[in-house]
């Protein structure tokens, strides 16, 4: 099964290598869906995803907590696991087929200084328009 959508990254990408030397970045993706509840928030579905190969190595540093990404997942499945308290849990997992940075980070950025205001410059003498008539209708 494939899935596509906009998601926020829940934690910084965790980069590792398999014993064969293949690079893999583990991602925690938060997809919102449905209508807002009484608390004003939309429901969230978390997906544990893996990005493989050279793309994982190149993009891991940019896949940080809070970043908005457009992502296509393949091999999406429900996986069961044993929680620390001994109970069973379920989660969605998938392999990243395609990923693009889609927007800024939700964390506050450092304030940026406004650009300097340009200083007025004197018009050069004899701009070449002195001989034009003032009768121009526009």
pLDDT tens for each residue of 93-124: 999 999 999 876 655 444 445 555 556 555 55
Residues 6+ apart with CB under 8 A from 49: 26, 27, 28, 29, 71, 73, 93, 94, 95, 96
Specify the pLDDT at position 104: 63
Answer whether residue 137 shows pLDDT above 90. Answer: no
Q: Sign of the C-alpha dihedral, residues 4, 10, 12, 15?
A: negative
Tokens 């993009």 sit at which residue?
59
| Domain boundaries along the sequence of the chain | 3-103
3-103 CATH fold: OB fold (Dihydrolipoamide Acetyltransferase, E2P) (2.40.50)
pTM over 0.75? The answer is: no
């Amino acid at each position: 099964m494939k899935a596509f959508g906009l998601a926020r990254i829940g934690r910084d990408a965790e980069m590792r290598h398999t014993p064969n030397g293949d690079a893999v970045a583990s991602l925690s993706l938060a997809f919102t869906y449905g209508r807002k509840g009484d608390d004003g928030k939309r429901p969230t579905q978390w997906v544990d995803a893996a990005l493989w190969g050279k793309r994982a190595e190149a993009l891991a540093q940019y896949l940080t907590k809070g970043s908005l990404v457009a992502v296509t997942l393949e091999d999406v499945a429900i996986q069961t696991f044993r929680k620390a308290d001994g109970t069973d849990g379920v989660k969605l997992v998938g392999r990243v087929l395609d990923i693009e940075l889609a927007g800024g980070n939700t964390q506050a950025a450092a304030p940026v200084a406004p650009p300097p205001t340009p200083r007025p410059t004197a018009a050069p003498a004899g701009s070449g328009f002195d001989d034009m008539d003032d009768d121009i209708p526009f």
